[in-house]
Structure 1
Amino acid sequence: MGRVCGGRAALAAGAALCVGAALCVVTALPGAAAAAGGPSPYVFADRALPVEGAKKSAGSASLTPGSTYKSSLARGGKFYYQLRLDATETVYVSATAVPGPDSRVVYGDGVEVSLQDASGNNCNSQDARFGTSQSPRPITAWAVREVGPAENRCKAAGTYYVVVERNTRPGSSTETWDTELRVVSEPGVAKGASTLPPDSWNSASPTPPAGERTERRGGTGYNDARALRAGVWGDRIEPGQTLFYRVPVDWGQQISASAELGSASGGRDEYVPAALVMSLSNPLRARVDEADTAYDGKQSTAALDPLAPVAYENRYSPIDGVTGTRVAGWYYLAVHLSPKVAGQFGKRPLDLTLRVGVDGSAKEGPAYAGTARPADLFSVSGRDEEAAERGETAAASGGGGDGTASGSGSGGGSVGRAAMRVVAASGFGAGALILVILGVWTLVGRRRAA
């Protein structure tokens, strides 16, 4: 290295130059610009473990309750994963599919998740579709293996299989989608718990909150969703963008929400069907309700239907809007603006106003006979209430047990950690650069020790 190795200051300078050069090369690699600071369609959990789905059940990778995984989903593909479950826990598996912003999706495109036992019996399956908006955005499907007095199948301990399938129709894109898999375990409850769903609840349309709005910037997904409490919140949303928010809802409480898209200046005298789509998901990432509205340049609102208060026995209801409010914790609002809006009214971001209500007093939850995985998932703590008051992201407050969001950082980090994160985001081809950086740092350390 010539004179670079001539002294401590020179060594440090040489290390910095090598790191800088490596980072410059990394930035030039495909995809590095987005990883380094450009907009991302979805931020995955930092602790998401890479896993590859198998095309058949034998030899499929194992998933563990309480963990989050990053995988992929090819067009028309069906992929298997396996779970080893006991006879006491209810387990939920969600799969969030993330098509690229330029993907073509049609009405019937979507993703389906099934849970099956070792004999091929279907315990449960759910799907998620892009629907009338036909607009690429993160969508989540889920499945559950339930254990309880009302269940007669899939109760035994043993090996179970998660099947994630991508449903496609003619006209959709062929590229592979990234997916985030999340496995959640809910412990059983004490004997004698009610299995009767609620026969009545306040189903009147709630009065949306009024007053001045407070600005809060939404996140890109579940892992960096912005916390909200009841109130009126403002943001800006671009065509093709999806913004995520989260609201703490305790046992016995009832959530309501609406999303108002502000008027546009200029534009054509036409409207875009299903221009704004708002969906609500529970702490399991299972969809509770969805609403959309057309847009013609004038302000327009999408509002959720009245929802049942959160209660454990809601899971026994045959009504989707009731069974979804089965657990307490963080509820997620995802708001998507169709890219077709740009063709009619321009690419400028539009004003978005969220009106969120949380009615009712918190009640005691079920007497769980164990601990959830992730822990504290089915409750609302004082820390959660404070996070909603301050508007923290899921990353800043621990992500509800999921770990922090990818790329969020936690402060106090070294240049080395930042460099590694950029290199990792740039793909396998940048791996050699890690060795260069580590070699320089090792040499610096040895010279300093000498």
Structure 2
Amino acid sequence: MTRGIHGSVVACLVAGLLSVAAPASADDESVLGQDGGSLILVLDGSGSMKESAGGQTRMKAAQKSLRTVVDRLPDDSKVGLRVYGSTIEDGKGSCKDSELLVPVGDVDKAKLKAGIDKLKPLGNTPIAYSLKQAYKDLPKEGPRSIVLVSDGEENCGGDPCKVARDLKKKGADFYVDVVGLQVDAKSRSQLTCVASAGGGTYYDVSDIEDLPSTLTRTSVRAARGYKEAGLPVEGAESASADAPEIEDGQWLDTIGDTGAEHYTVPDPGKGTLHVSASTRTTSPELSATEGLSISLTSADGTECGDSASISVQGSVNQKAPYAVDLTSTPADRKDCGKGPYVVSVEPPQVEGVKPLEVLVRTEPAVKTTEGLPGASESSGYSDDATAPKASGEAQPALGSPSFAGAPPVAPGLYSDSILPGETLLYRVPDVGWGQQPVCDFTLGSTPQAGDALKGGGYFEVALANVYGPTKALVTDPSATTNRVQYAGAANQPLHVAGPTVAYQNRTSSDERIRADALDGDHYCALTLFTSTPTVDEKVGEVPVTLSVAVTGDKTGEPQYASKPKQSANDAQSDDGGVGWGWIVGGLVVLAALIAGLLAAFRRRRDSDATTVDG
């Protein structure tokens, strides 16, 4: 799972991980991909924390470990602290005994340590109530995480699993991770459910000596938040000429709150229009299927060529982002008349509101296609691609579960880590005409993973993929070197490459070749599939090395009849700084998310009085 507390927390905390080398210090600006949101720790202060654990009480062990974590927090992290069951032993009020000791905000290490030190194991275990309160403690925007540390199950009559599920429905940028401290089977079942329903990970600590590394690992994974980016836009509820106009660039909206989203795009004339829509998998069940579809029509509803759609399954996609792309040529639009045209994006058939990124790129007409290289071969282009492996010291790069958050990785060597169930993306900038992105991943061996996977026939399947400039998948489906069975005891290499970028790729009969007919940024992705919850937890964090290359000379650039349009995003940042439109866009979309969620909440409240408090 991947979340967002301030990304620089990762570089600091990762140094404490067992079996994984420290990539960088907290203030090392060379760490690629730093950025994130807010985290609140929710600690069990109930009477059961008095029990002995390795010569000390569970509470003392937790306090010692948490002080270590606090010491490693960089100054720009945003962390809060809440405790339950620590002030009222039993009776009236004990099931609402949940206290915010340190509000979420710029880190104050002294206050955090003081809050940790004052904890006394005393009362009941109101987990459900505390999760509701912790959600209210978090900011209203940005990636947010709750990390719950508990040694037992709910005993106040609440249903923490339902609460976590209801809270998760409020948005894709919120997660609940859980650390179970020497719990019995019944408690483990409930806490595992809480983590799963909250879109997070359950960590089981049976040996108290493992608690410091587990808490560190939890903080590390909480640091990689799904990030979205784009200029703000709010799609219309109906397909008409009154829908908001989106020009070349990336736009940010939400989907799932009102149904299909509709936008108008300018007439590209004799040029080609490329539009893609992307979001992320949020279905809590790995067997669930969701997807997007996109179409282009005239203002009167006449279809302009075929629509496009994508469907993904959780067990295959592992909560990675996905995109559907549509290419519209003059021939596709011949029956539509002149523009502007309407782009319609149909939502996934799943509950919840989530961010939607819409990418528009207008490609001018070419003067001639004579002399341009032909389309890439439809098979073999990945396995047959060769590139020298990068050498030297690996630079830390924090892979992201989102396209917008993917760190830029120019040709070179990089280091990272991955957990079972994660997909991490890395952006290969400016792959030109005639060039091919090549990514070689290596999953490192660890004693922990080796012990977890030896015997019993267990292994973790790993898969490498490549996405093109429109975020569509361009991996060779016939490739064999991009998939391995990771057994933990030895390093496992994975090799993946995209097709050679060529204008004539759009003429291929293979949809993945057609999806790579533009120059620009590409994305390499690594997925480590889940096995079983118990085995995944024992495997823990797996070190990753990534060697990036871009092969081939830049050649075969088409001669356009006119100059390509400037991206609206570039226009927003012509002063050399970060485009304010992107920043405002994030705020507007977050506001829209909240508004949509409130509306959905009101509708649910009217029909279901048991819906969780907002």
Normalised by the length of structure 2, the TM-score is: 0.50
Shift of 1:98: 2.4
**SS of structure 1 residue aligned to 2:564:** coil
The C-alpha deviation readout for 1:41-66, integer Å capped at 9, x for no partner, is: 42122x43041352x42476323222
Contact 1:281/1:333 (8 A) holds in 2: yes
> Among residues 240, 248, 253, which one is paired with 1:66 in the alignment?
248
Q: Which residue of structure 1 aligns with residue 394 of structure 2?
A: 214
> Among residues 551, 554, 564, which one is paired with 1:362 in the alignment?
554
The C-alpha deviation readout for 1:211-236, integer Å capped at 9, x for no partner, is: 45613313433333222233432211
Map residues 167-246 of structure 1 onto 2, 5 A cutoff: 167-168=348-349, 174-191=351-368, 193=370, 197-198=374-375, 203=381, 205-207=384-386, 209-210=388-389, 211-212=391-392, 214-220=394-400, 221-246=402-427
Q: Which residue of structure 2 aligns with residue 10 of structure 1?
A: none
Q: Does 1:106 align with 2:297?
A: no
Q: Which residue of structure 2 aligns with residue 158 of structure 1?
A: 339
Give the distance between the partners of 1:63 and 1:140, measured in 2 at CA. 21
Q: Which residue of structure 1 aligns with residue 164 of structure 2?
A: none
The C-alpha deviation readout for 1:406-432, integer Å capped at 9, x for no partner, is: 999xxxxxxxxxxx99x9799569xxx
Give the distance between the partners of 1:334 and 1:60, measured in 2 at CA. 38
Q: 1:206 to 1:182 in 2, by over 3 A?
A: closer
Q: Which residue of structure 1 aligns with residue 196 of structure 2?
A: none
> Among residues 273, 278, 284, which one is paired with 2:470 in the alignment?
284
- Which 10-residue stretch deviates more, 217-226 or 350-359? 217-226
Q: Which residue of structure 1 aligns with residue 435 of structure 2?
A: 253
**SS of structure 2 residue aligned to 1:68:** strand
In the alignment, structure 2 segments of 5+ residues that lack a partner are 1-102, 107-133, 146-218, 477-481, 570-575, 597-614
RMSD of Structure 2 on Structure 1 (CA): 4.5
Contact 1:87/1:155 (8 A) holds in 2: no
One-letter code of the match for 1:68? Q
Shift of 1:67: 3.3
Contact 1:91/1:184 (8 A) holds in 2: yes
Q: 1:70 to 1:374 in 2, by over 3 A?
A: same
Shift of 1:402: 11
**SS of structure 2 residue aligned to 1:62:** coil
Contact 1:90/1:185 (8 A) holds in 2: yes
- Which 10-residue stretch deviates more, 340-349 or 250-259? 340-349
Give the distance between the partners of 2:435 and 2:376, measured in 1 at CA. 17
Give the distance between the partners of 1:155 and 1:57, measured in 2 at CA. 14
Q: 1:294 to 1:80 in 2, by over 3 A?
A: farther
Give the distance between the partners of 2:585 and 2:457, measured in 1 at CA. 40
One-letter code of the match for 1:287? L
Q: Does 1:327 align with 2:504?
A: no
- Which 10-residue stretch deviates more, 36-45 or 239-248? 36-45
Contact 2:420/2:536 (8 A) holds in 1: no
Considering only CA atoms, is the larger Rg found in Structure 1 or Structure 2?
2
Give the distance between the partners of 1:94 and 1:329, measured in 2 at CA. 14
> Among residues 440, 452, 467, which one is paired with 1:267 in the alignment?
452
Shift of 1:270: 4.5
Contact 1:279/1:334 (8 A) holds in 2: yes
Shift of 1:119: 1.0
Q: Which residue of structure 2 aligns with residue 312 of structure 1?
A: 503
- Which structure has more relative contact order (CA 8 Å, sep 6+)? It is 1
Contact 1:224/1:405 (8 A) holds in 2: no
Q: 1:86 to 1:133 in 2, by over 3 A?
A: closer
Contact 1:114/1:143 (8 A) holds in 2: yes
Q: Does 1:136 align with 2:315?
A: no
Contact 2:434/2:553 (8 A) holds in 1: yes
Identity of aligned residues (%): 22
The C-alpha deviation readout for 1:80-110, integer Å capped at 9, x for no partner, is: 333232423322221111244x733436432
The C-alpha deviation readout for 1:230-284, integer Å capped at 9, x for no partner, is: 34322112344432222232221222223332234132444466x4343322222
**SS of structure 2 residue aligned to 1:267:** helix
Contact 1:69/1:180 (8 A) holds in 2: yes
**SS of structure 1 residue aligned to 2:427:** strand
**Count of aligned pairs between the two proteins:** 369
Contact 1:223/1:405 (8 A) holds in 2: no
The C-alpha deviation readout for 1:289-348, integer Å capped at 9, x for no partner, is: 1654444435444433x6442221221121234323312221112333345575423273
**SS of structure 2 residue aligned to 1:314:** helix
**SS of structure 2 residue aligned to 1:222:** coil
Contact 1:112/1:141 (8 A) holds in 2: yes
Give the distance between the partners of 1:154 and 1:263, measured in 2 at CA. 58
Give the distance between the partners of 1:405 and 1:340, measured in 2 at CA. 39
Q: 1:113 to 1:366 in 2, by over 3 A?
A: same
Give the distance between the partners of 2:371 and 2:336, measured in 1 at CA. 19
Shift of 1:76: 11
Q: Which residue of structure 1 aligns with residue 61 of structure 2?
A: none
Q: Which residue of structure 2 aligns with residue 90 of structure 1?
A: 272
Q: Which residue of structure 1 aligns with residue 137 of structure 2?
A: 28
Q: 1:296 to 1:61 in 2, by over 3 A?
A: farther
Give the distance between the partners of 2:262 and 2:295, measured in 1 at CA. 10
Give the distance between the partners of 1:316 and 1:363, measured in 2 at CA. 18
**SS of structure 1 residue aligned to 2:504:** helix
Q: 1:104 to 1:31 in 2, by over 3 A?
A: farther
